[in-house]
Amino acid sequence: METLRKNRTRLITLAALAFLFVTALQGMESEDWAITVLRGLSVGAVTFLVAAGLSLILGLMDVLNLAHGELFMVGAYVGWTVYVRPDTFIDVLPPLLLLAAGLALMPWQRALLSRLSLSPQVARLWPWAALAAALATLALTLPRFPLAIWNPDAFAQSPGAFALALDQGTLQMPAAAVFTEIAPIAGILGVLLGGALLGAAIVGLGLRRGGGAPTARLPRRPLLWAAALAAAGVAFYAGNDPLTAALFTMNSTARFFLSMAVATGVGFVLGGLIESTLIRPLYDRPIYQIMLTLGLSFIGVELVRAIWGRPEFTMPKAALFNGTGDGCPAVTLSDLLAHQCSTILLFDGRIRTYNEVFIILVGVIVLVAVWLLLQRTRLGMIIRAGVQDAEMVEALGINVRRVFTLVFALGVALAALGGVLAAPSIGLSNDMGTRLLLLALIALAIGGLTSFPGAAAGAVLVGLLQQFIIKYGQIGINLPFLAEPFKPSPPLVPASTVLLMVIILLILPNGLFGRNE
Does 455 sit near other proteins (CB under 8 A)? no
Q: How far is the CB of 61 from other proteins (least distance, A)?
A: 16
Size of the site for other proteins (CB under 8 A): 19
Q: How far is the CB of 397 from other proteins (least distance, A)?
A: 4
Q: How far is the CB of 219 from other proteins (least distance, A)?
A: 16
Does 394 sit near other proteins (CB under 8 A)? yes
Name, in order, each residue with C-beta under 8 angstroms of 359's C-beta and a sequence gap of 6 or more: 42, 45, 46, 421, 422, 425
Beta bridge partners of 486: 477
Does 397 sit near other proteins (CB under 8 A)? yes
Considering only 382, 428, 444, 465, the residue that binds other proteins (CB under 8 A) is 382
Only one of the segments 178-186, 397-405, 488-496, 497-505 lies at the binding site for other proteins (rule: CB under 8 A); that segment is 397-405
Only one of the segments 104-112, 199-207, 274-282, 385-393 lies at the binding site for other proteins (rule: CB under 8 A); that segment is 385-393
- Closest to other proteins by CB, 215 vs 249, is 215
Does 391 sit near other proteins (CB under 8 A)? yes
How far is C-alpha 480 from the chain's CA centre?
A: 44
Asked if 126 contacts 79 with a C-beta cutoff of 8 angstroms, the reply is no
Q: How far is the CB of 386 from other proteins (least distance, A)?
A: 9
User: In whole angstroms, how far apart are CA 232 and each of 79, 224, 505?
Assistant: 21, 12, 51
Does 372 sit near other proteins (CB under 8 A)? no
Return the number of other C-beta atoms located less than 10 Å from residue 437's C-beta.
25
x-or-dash string of contact with other proteins, 319-358, rule CB under 8 A: ----------------------------------------
Residue 396, CB-side half-sphere exposure with 13 Å CA sphere: 9
Distance CA 495, CA 491 (A): 7
Distance CA 332, CA 191 (A): 55
Asked if 280 contacts 273 with a C-beta cutoff of 8 angstroms, the reply is no
Return the number of other C-beta atoms located less than 10 Å from residue 138's C-beta.
20
- Closest to other proteins by CB, 193 vs 374, is 374
Q: How far is the CB of 55 from other proteins (least distance, A)?
A: 14
Q: Identify whether 127 is preceded by a cis peptide bond (ω within 30 of 0).
A: no
Q: How far is the CB of 440 from other proteins (least distance, A)?
A: 23
Distance CA 407, CA 413 (A): 10
Considering only 389, 487, 499, 503, the residue that binds other proteins (CB under 8 A) is 389
x-or-dash string of contact with other proteins, 399-438, rule CB under 8 A: xxx-------------------------------------
Does 385 sit near other proteins (CB under 8 A)? yes
- Closest to other proteins by CB, 8 vs 487, is 8
- Closest to other proteins by CB, 202 vs 400, is 400
For CA atoms 495, 500, 503, 508, the dihedral sign is negative
Does 398 sit near other proteins (CB under 8 A)? yes
Angle at 87 between CA 85 and CA 88, to 5 degrees: 75
Does 173 sit near other proteins (CB under 8 A)? no
Beta bridge partners of 344: 330, 351
| Rg, the chain, Cα only | 26
Task: Write out 376-388 in H/E/C secondary structure.
Answer: HCHHHHHHHHHHH
Q: Which contacts (CB < 8 Å, 24+ apart) does range 322-330 have?
A: 322/252, 322/354
- Closest to other proteins by CB, 124 vs 221, is 221
Q: In sequence order, what DSSP letters do the residues of 73-138 get, joined into one string?
A: HHHHHHHHHHHH-HHHHHHHHHHHHHHHHHHHTHHHHHHHHTT----HHHHHHHHHHHHHHHHHHH
- Closest to other proteins by CB, 324 vs 375, is 375
Return the number of other C-beta atoms located less than 10 Å from residue 133's C-beta.
16
Q: How far is the CB of 278 from other proteins (least distance, A)?
A: 20
Does 215 sit near other proteins (CB under 8 A)? no
Q: How far is the CB of 474 from other proteins (least distance, A)?
A: 44
Does 200 sit near other proteins (CB under 8 A)? no
| Residues of the shown chain interacting with other proteins in the complex, contacts defined by CB under 8 A | 378, 381-382, 384-385, 387-389, 391-401
